[in-house]
Amino acid sequence: MRHKIKSWNIPRFGLAICIVLLLGSCPSGSYGQWIKSDWKKCVLPLVREALGKDSVSAVPAPIVGTCVVILYDSSSFIVTNAHVARIPGLAIGMNTKDPTYPVIRYPLDTLFGLTKDRWHYHSVYDVAATRFMVPRTWRDTLDVLSIGVSLFRPYQDVQEGAEVYVLGFPINIGSISMHHYSPVYRGGIVALKEKDNDFLIDANIFPGNSGGPVFLAPKIYDPNTGDLYLGNSASFAGIVYAYIPYVDLAISAQTNEPRVAFTENSGLARVVSASVILELLKNY
C-alpha cells in the first residue's frame, strides 16, 4: 500500500520506520529558534551497556554519541560517526508514546538481527550508517521521526558566517528529561571551510555530541554580492565529529622545559558535510 504525503511517496517497507518530516515555514528574523520542534525526534542517543529492548532505566545508561535518522530511497538509516559506531555494546535510546515504557533501549545486536546487516563506513570520512528497522509491534508506539534528503544542503552551498544549531547529547545531558530523551541545542556559526566536505563551526561540543546533526538557518548569504536570501526551511549541513582542543603548557622556571599540559575546548568543532553522508547512502 502506498500513501502520498505532498510530493513524497512512502511505501510500507516491512519493519522500517519511514515517517518524513514535512517542511514548514520558519521565522525570517536574524535570531531566534528556526528549527521545527519535531526535528528533535530524528536525533537519538547512542548508549553503552544496554539492558535489553524493553529496559526503562531509572538511572540512564551512559550516552557515548548521537545519531540521526535519515530516510533515503524508501529506507530509513541511522547515521553517526565511525568512531562512535565502533564502540562495543551500543544501543539506541528511543522515546515511545506508551506511559508504561516511555523509553526503550534498542541494542544494535537486535537491530542487526532484523536487518541482517552491519555498519557501513565511509572510506575517508568519520561517518557510518546502517539500516534502521524495528519490530512490527513497536511501530505504532515509537515517537521517532526521520528527515529526508531533500533537506540536505550541499557542501558548496554552506557559507562561512552562516548561523547553525547542533543537536546532541553532550556529557550525558538530555539523557532522560521529563521521562524521555531530549537532545540539547548548541548554537553557533560556520567558522571556516578549510577543506572539501569538512568545515569548522564556532560552537562548543563535548563527548556525547559526536554524530549529532548540524542544521543551517533558512538563510543563504551570497558573499559576492552581500545579499541575504530567506528560505522557507532550515537545512541539514552534516554531522559534528570532534572539537579542536587548545593545549596550554606550564613551563618550568628552573629547566625552561614543559612540565604540565592543560587541554581545553577551543570552542571550534569539525563537521562532516551532508554531501559525504549522501554519497555513503548512495553507495550503501
pLDDT value, residue 91: 95
pLDDT value, residue 36: 81
Span 249-270, mean pLDDT? 76
pLDDT value, residue 60: 54
Average pLDDT, the chain: 81
pLDDT value, residue 5: 28
Inform me whether the pLDDT recorded for 16 exceeds 50. Answer: no
Tell me the domain boundaries of the chain.
2-282
- Count the neighbouring beta carbons within 10 Å of the beta carbon of residue 90: 25
Please give the CATH architecture assigned to the domain spanning 2-282.
Beta Barrel (2.40)
Report DSSP state, residue 224: T
Inform me whether the pLDDT recorded for 31 exceeds 50. Answer: no
Strand partners, 71: 76, 148
40-43's contacts with Cβ under 8 Å and 24+ in sequence apart are: 40/167, 40/182, 40/183, 41/95, 41/143, 41/144, 41/145, 42/68, 42/69, 42/70, 42/144, 42/145, 42/146, 42/147, 42/213, 43/67, 43/68, 43/167, 43/168, 43/183, 43/212, 43/213
**Structure confidence by residue, pLDDT tens digits, 137-186:** 888 899 999 999 999 999 998 989 899 999 999 988 876 655 789 999 99
**Structure confidence by residue, pLDDT tens digits, 237-256:** 999 999 787 777 677 677 77
Inform me whether the pLDDT recorded for 55 exceeds 70. Answer: no
Question: What is the distance between the alpha carbons of residues 233 and 61, in angstroms, rounded to a whole number?
Answer: 34
